[in-house]
Amino acid sequence: MHPVDRLVRVYKLGKDGLYGREDVYGSSAQIASAQFAGFSVDCRRVFPPLPKVRRVKSPPPAEYS
């Protein structure tokens, strides 16, 4: 899980005992478990909505004399 990028990476163990390429899910994905029937993760609940950002115009820097 990457909280800043709001991604979940899932690695699955293959029949050969090795992990294959990961599956990457975004913040609005629904991820179903391969091991537990009926279990899933709603990423919208894991990653809450981003806060609203209010931009404030700052004054220009002071000039040096």
Give the closest residue to 50 by CA, choosing from 17, 9, 11, 3.
3
Return d(Cα 43, Cα 57) in angstroms, integer.
34
pLDDT for 42 beyond 90: yes
Q: Which domain holds residue 17?
A: 8-46
- Inside any domain, residue 24: yes
Q: What is the mean pLDDT of residues 43-47?
A: 91
The mean pLDDT value for 13-21 works out to 91
Number of domain units in the chain: 1
60 vs 36, which has greater pLDDT?
36
Reported pTM: 0.66
Mean pLDDT, range 18-44, rounded to an integer = 93
More confident residue, 22 or 65: 22
